[in-house]
Amino acid sequence: MSWTDFEWLTGAEPSPDGKSVVYLSDVSGRPQPWVLPLAGGPARHVEVAGSVGRCVWRPDGARLLVLTDPDGGENHRLAEVDPTVSDPARAGTVEWLVAEDGVRCEIGVPYGSTGRPYSPDGTLLAYACNARDREVFDVLVRDLRTGEERIVLHGDDRYLPMGFSPDSRLLLVLRLHQNTEQDLFVCDLADGTVRLLTPHDGPAKYQPVAWLPDSSGVYLCTTQGRDFLGPAVLSLTGELTWIDTPESDVEGAALSPDGTRLAWGLNEDGYTRLRWAEVGGSPTDVTGLPRGVAVAEFGLDGHALRFTTSGELLVQLGRPDAATDLFLVDLPARGERAPQRARQLTDCGAGLPVGIVPPTVVHAISADGLTVPCLLYRPPPASAETPVPVVVTVHGGPEWQARPAFDPLVQSLLARGIGVLAPNIRGSSGYGMRYQRLIYRDWGGGDLLDLEAAAGLLDTVPWADGTRLGVHGASYGGFAALACLTGLPHLWRAGVSECGPSDLLNDIRSFPPTWRKRANDWIGNPDDPADVAVLTERSPLENAHRLRAPVLIMHGENDANVNPEASELMYRRLRELGKPARLVMHPGVGHGWNRAGLAETVDLIVSWFADHLC
C-alpha cells in the first residue's frame, strides 16, 4: 500500500431526476466523468477524450456537458456526451460544440465548479470563449435546437457566465479581473442590453450562488462594505440584504431546487463550518459530518455544495485523516428537530495505509507583526528526545489556502519521519480581503518575511530539528521555494520547486493570454522601470549565486501557466555557478500533477528530502 493509492474525486453534481450523481475521478488514469446511482451499485465510467475539468447535467438529464483539456495546455474544449453510454466508439455519444485549436472555453470560473451554463428549459447554453481575442473572454449563448449562437457580451477582460434567470430572459455574468476584484452584469437576452449590477468603489468580491425564484435578484457571497465574504441577496435594483455576517469568510452557498432552503460554509482555519436555513428563517449548523473541508470560493477543487431534488445536501468533503469523499446529508423537514444523518457515498481512500496524520493549527508572528496561521504535521516517531527534520511546503495561487485535507506528499514525508509545516502566508484566501491583498505587487517581499517567521516558529517546537529544514512548493509555491533558497539561504538544507517562476519579469511576459490584463496590479508592470527594478531584484534567477542548499527543479513540458523555460533557465544558471541542482521535465504534463506519474513524482520528492535532511 502507498500514500498515492487513492482515488481523486471532484466536481459532484446530482442528476435532475435525483437518482444519481456524476463526479470526476482519475481512477481510469485521467479525470473522467463517473455516474453513481444513489440507490446503490457501482459507478459507471463515461469515456471522454482528454482530461475533463468540469461536467454538468443538462436539465432534462439526457446529456452531460463536459469541459475537456486534450493535452494539459488548458485550451478547454466543450462537448455534450450521452451519460448512458460508456463506449465512445458508439456513434452519437459525443457531440463536440467547440473544439478549435488554441481556443479556450469556460462554463464558469476557471478551475471552479460553480455556474449553471444551461437555461432552465435546457434549450440555451452559455459559455465563455477567447476565440475573438485571445486575451479576453466573450460570453456566448448557443441555441441547442438550431445550433445558432451569438456573442451577448463582448469582453474587455475575463467575463464568465454564471447562470440564466428562472424565466430564461436574463443571463448573469461575472467579470473576474482579480480574485479580489469582481463585478456582476446582467445580459438581457430579449433586447440585447448589458447592465452593471454591482457598481462599487475599490476591490470587492461578488460570487453568485443562484437566482431568486422570481428572477428579481440573486443570492451571492460578497465582501461589499466588509472584509469577509458573507451570504446576501442582491436585487436587480441594487439593494443588498445580508443573510449572515460572521467574522470569517463564507466561501460558498447553495439553494435547494424548490427555492426554500439555503446552505453555506464558513472558513474557520481552513475547516468548513456548514450552516443551513429555511429561506427567511434562522440558521443552524449542519451536523452529522466529519470535520473537514466542504466549501471553497467558486467551488475550486470541486468543493461546492449541492442540493438534490429531494432536498438532501450533497457535500464533497476533504478530511485531514481520510481521502476526499462524497456525503449526502438528510436535513430535517420544516418544523422537525430530527437528528441530521450523513451517508457516505464513496470510499476513495480504501487503498491507503492506516495512520493518516492530521495537522494542528499553529501561528507564527512575522517581522512586521502579522499573524501567520500554519498547519503543523508531526510524524509519529518525533519527540523532544529524537527531533526530526521538517519541510515547509508553500501552497500555490498565491491566493489559495493550505487546508486540512489529505495530501499524498505530506503523508509520504511523514511516513519517512519528516515533519511538515504548511503556512498560510499573506496573500492566502480564507482570512478576509485585507490579508489576501497583501501579496499584490509584493511577491518576494512580505511573503518572504512570513516564510522566515514560519521557519523560526519551528525553533519553538520540541520535536522539530530547526537545523534540518527543507522548503517545497508548486506554481507560486515553487517561486516561493526558490525565493527562500536564494533569499534566505542560511535556513535551508534542501529544496524542491515544482513548475515555479524563477524570473518575475519573464513570468508576466509569458502569462496565459487571459491573465495579461491583471498582471500590473497583481505582480507588477513590466513596462514601468521602477517595477522592473523591483521584480528583477526579487527574482530567484537574479539571486541564484546566493543558493547553498541542493534544489530539485521539476516542470511539466506542456505547462501553459508558467513557461517551462523558467525552470530550465534557473537550472542552467545554477549549474553555471557550480550550485547543486537537478532538473526533471515531465513530457505531456501541464500545470499540475499527472496521475500516471504521481507515485513516481512523490517518491522523487520524498527521496530528495530524505537524502539531504535525514
pLDDT tens readout for residues 131-152: 999 999 999 999 999 999 999 9
How do beta strands 32-37 and 124-129 pair? unpaired
Q: What angle do CA 105, 110, 116 make, to 5 degrees?
A: 75
The amino acid occupying position 468 is R
Q: What is the pLDDT of residue 591?
A: 83
Phi/psi of residue 513, each to 5°? -50, -40
Residue 91: pLDDT band by 50, 70, 90 thresholds? very low
- CA 127/CA 108 separation, integer angstroms: 7
The CA–CA distances, whole Å, from 366 to 33, 76, 359, 453, 460 equal 44, 40, 21, 5, 15
Q: What is the pLDDT of residue 338?
A: 60
The residue behind cell 513548475 is: 499
C-alpha cell at 275: 450552516
pLDDT tens readout for residues 415-432: 999 999 999 999 999 999
Helix, strand, or coil (residue 544): helix
Helix, strand, or coil (residue 300): helix
Q: Is the pLDDT of residue 336 over 80?
A: no
End-to-end CA distance of the chain: 23
Q: What is the pLDDT of residue 542?
A: 96
Q: For 66-80, 180-194, 260-274, 389-403, which range has the lowest pLDDT when averaged over its residues?
A: 66-80
Burial class (CB in 10 A: 0-12, 13-18, 19+), 27: middle
Residue 90: pLDDT band by 50, 70, 90 thresholds? low
Mean pLDDT, rounded, of the chain: 94
Q: Is the pLDDT of residue 595 over 80?
A: no
DSSP letter for 286, please: -
pLDDT tens readout for residues 204-244: 999 999 999 999 999 999 999 999 999 999 999 999 999 99
Report whether 422 contacts 404 (CB < 8 A).
no
Q: What angle do CA 40, 41, 43 make, to 5 degrees?
A: 115
The amino acid occupying position 323 is A
How do beta strands 64-69 and 9-14 pair? unpaired
Mean pLDDT of 380-404: 96
The CA–CA distances, whole Å, from 162 to 2, 16, 128, 486 equal 40, 19, 10, 42
Structural domains present in the chain: 243-350 (2.120.10.30), 360-613 (3.40.50.1820)
The CA–CA distances, whole Å, from 259 to 210, 244, 279, 282, 322 equal 9, 18, 8, 16, 33
Q: What is the pLDDT of residue 560?
A: 86
Helix, strand, or coil (residue 364): strand
The residue behind cell 466523468 is: 33
pLDDT tens readout for residues 7-17: 999 999 999 99
pLDDT tens readout for residues 34-77: 999 999 999 999 999 889 999 999 999 999 999 999 888 889 99
Q: What is the pLDDT of residue 74?
A: 87
Mean pLDDT of 310-336: 90
The neighbouring-strand residues paired with 426 are none
Residue 334: pLDDT band by 50, 70, 90 thresholds? low
Residue 87: pLDDT band by 50, 70, 90 thresholds? low
The residue behind cell 451499485 is: 41
- CA 592/CA 300 separation, integer angstroms: 14
Report whether 426 contacts 447 (CB < 8 A).
yes
CB within 8 A of 140, min separation 6: which ones? 126, 127, 128, 129, 149, 150, 151, 152
Q: Is the pLDDT of residue 92 over 60?
A: no
Q: Is the pLDDT of residue 305 over 70?
A: yes
Relative orientation angle of helices 408-415 and 598-613, to the nearest 10 degrees: 40
